[in-house]
């Protein structure tokens, strides 16, 4: 991501900070809550902005790495959100070199209102970087902006189908896609689509496990039906007819 992409956030950092802090994590990202990992897991917030989401994740007991390339936003965020389980890093996609140096795998990766700033040529490398940093059982949650860019911030159009195809080529499967939703800041010309990605190898294993469970249930149902049919057949067989015993012969006396 080029520096010009976040220079606008440096120029008006206080204004952006107040705007982002006016929203709540649990409302803005309600559809992502069921994908959050167990308490104590590692979370990566790429493009952490005001620190609102990083702080919310930290409050839930996660160890959070917050990445924000805008110095203005980062300074304000660090001053307000002082939890000891948030680590702030000045880094950016597509490489996230400083994050890679940590040598950690993350259970949950969040990119909220970030992808429109990634140049098209950097999008596949960015997805490959995210896949590299993701735990094999982790999830990547993204919000994709649909709408014309403002004049003061560089943004690039997003084609959702193209994004899903690029994610697949990076080894990531889309496991959740929302409908277009209204903008939380009430901008009439902006809509959002939320997506969750997971490593393809894990989703294949989960799909296979589900198939095996369903197969087991079907086989059990078939056996139960078979025995039920046999039982009914036994019940419907007429009992054998037993001939009555002949009457005892009477004594005939002459």
41-70 tens-digit pLDDT: 999 999 999 999 999 999 999 999 999 999
Alpha-carbon span 114 to 195, nearest angstrom:
13
| Whether residue 78 has pLDDT greater than 90 | yes
66 touches 86 (CB < 8 A): yes
Residue 138's nearest CA partner among 198, 61, 209, 204 is 198
Dihedral sign computed on CA atoms, order 206, 208, 210, 216: negative
| Whether residue 97 has pLDDT greater than 80 | yes
Residue 185, token pair as written in the block: 């800041």
106 touches 70 (CB < 8 A): no
Alpha-carbon span 154 to 92, nearest angstrom:
15
pLDDT at 155: 93
pLDDT at 208: 58
185 or 128: which leads in pLDDT:
128
Binning pLDDT at 50, 70 and 90, where does residue 7 land? confident
pLDDT tens, residue by residue, 157-216: 999 999 999 999 999 999 999 999 888 888 888 999 999 999 998 656 555 555 556 555
User: Distances in Å between the alpha carbon of 95 and those of 30, 161, 245, 249?
Assistant: 29, 23, 98, 110
- Taking the whole predicted model, whether its pTM rises above 0.75 is answered as yes
| Burial status of residue 87 (CB atoms within 10 A of its CB: 0-12, 13-18, 19 or more) | middle
**Among 5-19, 40-54, 104-118, 130-144, the least confident range:** 5-19
Alpha-carbon span 198 to 31, nearest angstrom:
15
146 touches 191 (CB < 8 A): yes
Binning pLDDT at 50, 70 and 90, where does residue 3 land? low
206 or 126: which leads in pLDDT:
126
């Amino acid at each position: 991501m080029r520096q010009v992409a976040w220079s606008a956030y440096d120029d008006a950092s206080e204004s952006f900070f107040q705007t982002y802090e006016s929203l709540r994590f649990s409302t803005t990202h309600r559809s992502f809550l069921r994908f959050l990992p167990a308490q104590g897991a590692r979370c990566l917030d790429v493009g952490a902005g005001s620190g609102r989401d990083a702080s919310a994740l930290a409050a839930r007991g996660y160890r959070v790495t917050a990445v924000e390339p805008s110095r203005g936003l980062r300074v304000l965020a660090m001053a307000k959100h002082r939890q000891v389980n948030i680590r702030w890093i000045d880094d950016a996609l597509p490489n996230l070199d400083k994050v890679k140096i940590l040598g950690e795998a993350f259970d949950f990766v969040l990119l909220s209102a970030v992808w429109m700033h990634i140049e098209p040529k950097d999008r596949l490398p960015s997805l490959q970087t995210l896949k590299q940093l993701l735990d094999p059982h982790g999830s990547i949650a993204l919000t994709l902006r649909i709408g014309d860019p403002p004049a003061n911030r560089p943004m690039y159009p997003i084609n959702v189908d193209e994004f899903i195809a690029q994610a697949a080529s990076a080894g990531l499967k889309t496991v959740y896609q929302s409908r277009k939703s209204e903008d939380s800041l009430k901008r009439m010309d902006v809509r959002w689509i939320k997506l969750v990605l997971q490593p393809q190898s894990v989703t294949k294993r989960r799909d296979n496990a589900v198939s095996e469970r369903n197969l087991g249930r079907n086989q059990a149902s078939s056996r139960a039906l078979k025995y039920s049919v046999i039982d009914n057949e036994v019940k419907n067989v007429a009992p054998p007819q037993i001939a009555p015993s002949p009457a005892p012969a009477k004594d005939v006396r002459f």
